[in-house]
């Protein structure tokens, strides 16, 4: 599986936008970029995924670099409930498995 690199932790103020980066320099053409988050004492929750184009949904936006070697998860207005560990994961289109790294722990403060 291609590897991703994320900062261990980030901080944000409530109601500010948050940009969570992910580097994946060895991404292949068949790798989808997935983002999940895990709130304290809960299972991971699907956030968003994309292949080449930027994606938006009710939870977040995903900005994918033109060369696909990096991506950014954007939370438009962070709330205290967004405090979680965010995982950036590459999943090959032919594979049925998700391989988790250690993610980015996001702290949101008032």
Partner 1 sequence: NAGVTQTPKFRVLKTGQSMTLLCAQDMNHEYMYWYRQDPGMGLRLIHYSVGEGTTAKGEVPDGYNVSRLKKQNFLLGLESAAPSQTSVYFCAAYPGVGGYTFGSGTRLTVV
> What does the binding site for partner 1 look like in residue numbers (CB under 8 A)?
34, 36, 41-47, 49, 87, 96-103
Q: Which is nearer to partner 1, 1 or 14 (CB)?
A: 1
Q: Which is nearer to partner 1, 22 or 103 (CB)?
A: 103
How far apart are CB 41 and partner 1 at their closest, in Å?
Answer: 8
Q: How far apart are CA 104 and CA 38, in angstroms?
A: 10
Q: How far apart are CA 80 and CA 93, in angstroms?
A: 34
Q: Which is nearer to partner 1, 47 or 78 (CB)?
A: 47
How far apart are CB 108 and partner 1 at their closest, in Å?
Answer: 20
Task: Quote helix, strand, coil % in the chain, to nearest 5.
Answer: 5, 50, 50
- Alpha-carbon Rg for the chain in angstroms: 13
């Amino acid at each position: 599986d291609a590897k991703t690199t994320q900062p261990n932790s980030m901080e944000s103020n409530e109601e500010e936008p948050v940009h969570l980066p992910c580097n994946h320099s060895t991404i292949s053409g068949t790798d989808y970029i997935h983002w999940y988050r895990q709130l304290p004492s809960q299972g991971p929750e699907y956030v968003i995924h994309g292949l080449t184009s930027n994606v938006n949904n009710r939870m977040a936006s995903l900005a994918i670099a033109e060369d696909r070697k990096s991506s950014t998860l954007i939370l438009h207005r962070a709330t205290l409930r967004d405090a979680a560990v965010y995982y950036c994961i590459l999943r090959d289109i032919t594979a049925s498995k998700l391989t988790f790294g250690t993610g980015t722990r996001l702290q949101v403060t008032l």
